[in-house]
């Protein structure tokens, strides 16, 4: 049974069951079922599902039906790792620069930017830094400078369509340190400009506290525990922390949370 567009009424009855009024759904099934042998309805809807999936619609349609509309087309999940020691060294320098592009409709990762950065003021990583982050000296030696990495970020943003004025995107960090302290502080030290897209963000800790009613004192560990999520990868690995942030965001969105900017305008 098809309409003018060729869409199957059977597929509608199958995929729309969750939202279709139960009394009408029952009557519709009763009206259609005599036309087909037992099991055909189920089999036909499975075929439709496979056809949609083959064209890339399966996961996205399911995800779109699960999440409320967000205010942004894309969330850009970011988590720096930087040179460090006890007592703390100054200035700190970014040594890992990861970004995950998260689709605001499906909350799935669509693209990844990930580079290591060579520090110039304190080029030798401390044992404390390596133990904390898992980043060894060979991972930063010979890597691009922060200026070069920022240029590549801009190229990636352009390639991903994120610089289009009609596309709404915002960075997401676990805390305010990354974009309020670390990046502008190092850029000021090096005499580099800070792109406007780095000047507004969502602090996941604040978003979590709004959604769950408690402040995550231990950051990602507390948020994963509060949401019954398994921690992904190694703590204080920038790219792994980004994956945890993305997973927490997806879970909160699934619960109906709408993400909003938390940073104040510069």
Catalytic residues: 81, 236
Contacts of 19 (CB under 8 A, 6+ apart): none
Angle at 191 between CA 186 and CA 196, to 5 degrees: 75
| CA distance to 37, 50, 59, 144, per residue, from 47 (Å) | 16, 5, 15, 50
Q: Which two tokens stand for residue 34?
A: 């005599």
Angle at 118 between CA 116 and CA 120, to 5 degrees: 155
User: How far apart (Å, rounded) are the C-alpha atoms in residues 222 and 231?
Assistant: 10
User: How far apart (Å, rounded) are the C-alpha atoms in residues 165 and 244?
Assistant: 29
Residue 150, SS3? helix
User: How far apart (Å, rounded) are the C-alpha atoms in residues 203 and 217?
Assistant: 13
């Amino acid at each position: 049974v098809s309409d003018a567009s060729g869409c199957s009424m059977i597929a509608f009855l199958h995929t729309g069951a969750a939202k279709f009024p139960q009394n009408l759904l029952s009557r519709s099934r009763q009206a259609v079922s005599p036309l087909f042998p037992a099991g055909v309805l189920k089999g036909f809807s499975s075929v439709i599902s496979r056809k949609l999936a083959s064209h890339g619609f399966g996961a996205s349609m399911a995800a779109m039906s699960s999440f409320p509309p967000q205010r942004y087309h894309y969330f850009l999940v970011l988590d720096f790792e930087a040179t460090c020691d006890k007592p703390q060294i100054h200035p700190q320098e970014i040594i890992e620069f990861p970004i995950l592009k998260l689709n605001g409709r499906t909350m799935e990762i669509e693209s990844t930017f990930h580079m290591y950065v060579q520090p110039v003021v304190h080029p030798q990583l401390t044992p404390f830094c390596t133990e904390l982050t898992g980043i060894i000296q060979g991972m930063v030696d010979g890597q691009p400078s922060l200026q070069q990495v920022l240029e590549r970020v801009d190229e990636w943003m352009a390639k991903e369509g994120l610089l289009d004025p009609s596309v709404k995107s915002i960075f997401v960090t676990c805390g305010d340190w990354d974009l309020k302290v670390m990046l502008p502080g190092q850029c000021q030290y090096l005499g580099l400009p800070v792109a406007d897209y780095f000047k507004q963000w969502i602090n996941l800790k604040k978003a979590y506290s709004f959604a769950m009613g408690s402040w995550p004192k231990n950051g990602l560990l507390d948020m994963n525990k509060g949401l019954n999520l398994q921690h992904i990868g190694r703590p204080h690995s920038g790219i792994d922390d980004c994956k945890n942030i993305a997973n927490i965001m997806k879970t909160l969105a699934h619960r109906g949370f709408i993400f909003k900017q938390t940073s104040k305008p510069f």
